[in-house]
A and B are shown apart, each in its own frame.
Chain A
Amino acid sequence: MKVIIVRYSEIHLKGNNRDFFESALISNIKFVLKEYKYDFARSNARYIIRNFDETQIENIIDALKNVFGVHSLSVALEVDSVYEQISAAAIQLAPASGTFKVSTNRADKRFPTKSMVLSADVGGDILERNPRLKVDLFNPDNTVYIDIRENGKTFVYTQSIKAVNGMPVGTGGKGIVMLSGGIDSPVAAYMMAKRGMTLRAVHFHSFPYTSMQAKQKVLDLAKLLKKYTLHITVDVVSFTEIQTAIHEKCPEEYMITIMRRFMMRIAERIAKNTGAGAVITGESLGQVASQTLESITSTNSVATIPVFRPLIGFDKDDIIEIAQKIGTFETSILPYEDCCTIFLPKKPVTKPRLSAVEKVESVLDVDALVDNALGNIETIVIE
């Protein structure tokens, strides 16, 4: 019978709260497989998926590959732990040409033949069937793995498919990610989800200066992220009133700095209202004027909860590489104006002094503007 072996990552390092991590992982696996029929079983440091529709195997593997906490997957033949069945399965899976070896793991010590001997015998059977093959114990093109389990069953497989690793979503607390529509923020979201965070996104929209397409783009990005975050809700905040107020009352060069302080305040308030404990941004040190140490200091000073910036030390090229890998890049580069690009001043201040920022901002009724924005949120649950 064809089965899928699911191996998990660093959870096995956890001690007393391993159950907490495992139950989150199992529930996430079941969530991504909810479209399929299958049997699920826990085994030693791995899970076994059985009795699924074999025509769906590629889709099932794709879904499992993106579940944080899954280390690798193998499609295996499960047979009774008797020599003839093991050998037949190995012959079935053996490569058509090139070099190979057989590697045996004998968890069940009651199995009469020792690992080395079994590998050699099965290797001999394979060779006998296909004389074109050659054995290479040190650098083979292919390896046939035999895993003899304690329950009288044996798995035979040839490949191990790498999955995303990380920690199960739901085990790392809850964070609010500021999703702009650019390349960086979806990558930041991905990276925190990878460490087990449950995410909620906030997007700032400057209607009518930014388009419905710009908003749609962010919702599309959220949908792409959902593959990894499993659930995601986007709070779309109307930012126009705040931008207009800043534009009217503050010097042009401080526009972006003060805008970002408002965004941070609003994100933190949403965090507190929704039980989240951190704000996540896609900032990378020095990438643009608002991401210098001084600018980040100005933005950070209005936050009272942790602000995670997983990309802070990344080059743009590295960020793009991840964006391409996770599939958000193509959407991120769609050229719609967003709330940050339409109000871009000619010469933004790159090293704002906090005291100066606080002074120019003091002409604004900050609390009222924030309250108004919070009262004007459109909450969209991504299905």
Chain B
Amino acid sequence: MISYFDNSATTRADDEIVEILDKYHTEEYYNPSARSTYSLNVANKIVAARESIANALGVTAQEITFTSGGTESNNLGILGCLRAKRGNIVVTAAEHSSVYNTVTELGSKGYDIRIAKVLPDGHIDVDDFVKQVDADTVLACFMHVNNETGAINDVRLLNELVKHKNPQTVTFSDGVQALGKVPVNLRHIGVDIYTFSGHKIHCSKGIGGLYVKSGVRIVPRVFGGGQEKGLRSGTEYAGGIIALARAVDSAVKSAPEHAVIYNQYKQMLRQSLSDIPNWQENCTQNVSPAIMSLAFADIKGEVLVYMLEQHDIIVGTGSACSSKSKQSRVARAIGLDARYAEGLLRISFSKYNTREQVIQLGENLAQCVKQLRKTMVG
């Protein structure tokens, strides 16, 4: 039995999600845009799903658009809201690659890209961020929960300060690691665009979406049959959308209860590592209960991952989405000490983890760190 602690990379889909997907693949497989009554039934289910998700986020159904996931949502939100090919974009150094690389790519298209600092625990340096915003800022991107350290940013405050300085600036927040983990009320937060993904909350890969505040104009990147109000053409992934509504509902409702349990898990792990010297928890204040980011001195996190795998335990190093590049951009951004920079380990929880698994993880992690420090030249 595998103990899976890399839930920020992806999660196991719930059985009921698989059942829904199965149903819409084999029974209710009708194209929701076609003319039959069967199609209409599917279309109505999509309407209900959209409403359900909008309710969970505190917004209206018209403001929700479905896409294939976080990366597409981030691309559509960022590229879709830009009009004039001038001005500046403020982004943080710790954004997910699908935001960071999309924005830096815009640097070659005439925009001035301003990269705001991140504090050592992964939180956005709010003062530095707001300082970079001026009359020419067309877009400001600040993620809600950092995918590597778990830092929860005060996106309501950031939005307010940015809008105060320049009401014309479009505010964008990547909520992929936030939805279902921390409270998300978009009316309250106030951002213009907010993105989310299904497979981080026990839904399937291939479904996600974004919120675009009513009145904020966004243009499509994909053209075709005009689905999703013309914003994202392509036959709707009905099963995915309906399953996503179920997953969002379940994740949002159970989040407070899970937060308590995950915080206990974190405490158990701190206990297990208490007699190990030279490690640190990268973010302890205003942090997602689901993510525990650790750094061990003189050890390569990647090697720890392989060793834990020998005990059927799966953890992450940094963000799996940028695992094709060796050094973590976020590790650099938070200014980790050189001794710790390669020893990053990300433990991320889900409802499928048990106390026994956490105990086993703690014991094996402590043992692997000791063994590696003995075996490896640091």
Q: Interface on A for B, CB 8 Å cutoff?
A: 208-211, 243-244, 247, 252, 255, 334-337, 342-346
Contacts and interface: CB of A to CB of B under 8 A. Distances in A.
Query: In the complex, which range does the number of interface residues on chain B fall in?
Result: 10 to 19
Counting chain A CB atoms within 10 Å of each CB, which of B300, B302, B307, B323 scores highest? B302
Contacts of B376: 209, 247, 342-343
6 contacts: A244-B375, A247-B375, A252-B377, A335-B324, A335-B325, A343-B377
B306 A210 contact: yes
A208 B325 contact: no
B58 to A, nearest CB: 41
Contacts of A211: 302, 305-306
A184 B305 CA distance: 27
Nearest to B372: A209
B303 interface: yes
Given A335-B324, A335-B326, A337-B300, A345 B377 contact: yes
Contact of B310 (A208, A210, A344, A345): A208
Interface in B311-349: 323-326
B377 A209 contact: no
B377 A337 contact: no
B303 A209 contact: yes
Nearest to B327: A335
Interface of B: 300, 302-303, 305-307, 309-310, 323-326, 372, 375-378
Contacts of B378: 346
A342 B300 contact: yes
A90 B326 CA distance: 56
B377 A247 contact: yes
List the 3 closest A-B pairs by CB distance, nearest first: A335-B326, A345-B377, A211-B306
Given A335-B324, A342-B300, A342-B303, 15 more contacts: A208-B310, A209-B303, A209-B306, A209-B307, A209-B372, A209-B376, A210-B303, A210-B306, A211-B302, A244-B375, A247-B375, A247-B376, A336-B302, A343-B377, A345-B377
A337 B303 contact: yes
A173 to B, nearest CB: 37
A342 B376 CA distance: 7
Nearest to A209: B303
A208 B306 contact: yes
A346 B309 CA distance: 27
B373 to A, nearest CB: 11
Counting chain B CB atoms within 10 Å of each CB, which of A255, A335, A342 scores highest? A342
B176 to A, nearest CB: 23
Contacts of B372: 209
Nearest to A240: B375
A69 to B, nearest CB: 37
A211 B323 CA distance: 14
Counting chain A CB atoms within 10 Å of each CB, which of B307, B309, B326 scores highest? B326
Nearest to B325: A335
A209 B308 CA distance: 10
Nearest to A243: B375
B44 to A, nearest CB: 46
A345 B310 CA distance: 25
Nearest to A337: B302
Contacts of B309: 208
Contacts of B375: 209, 243-244, 247
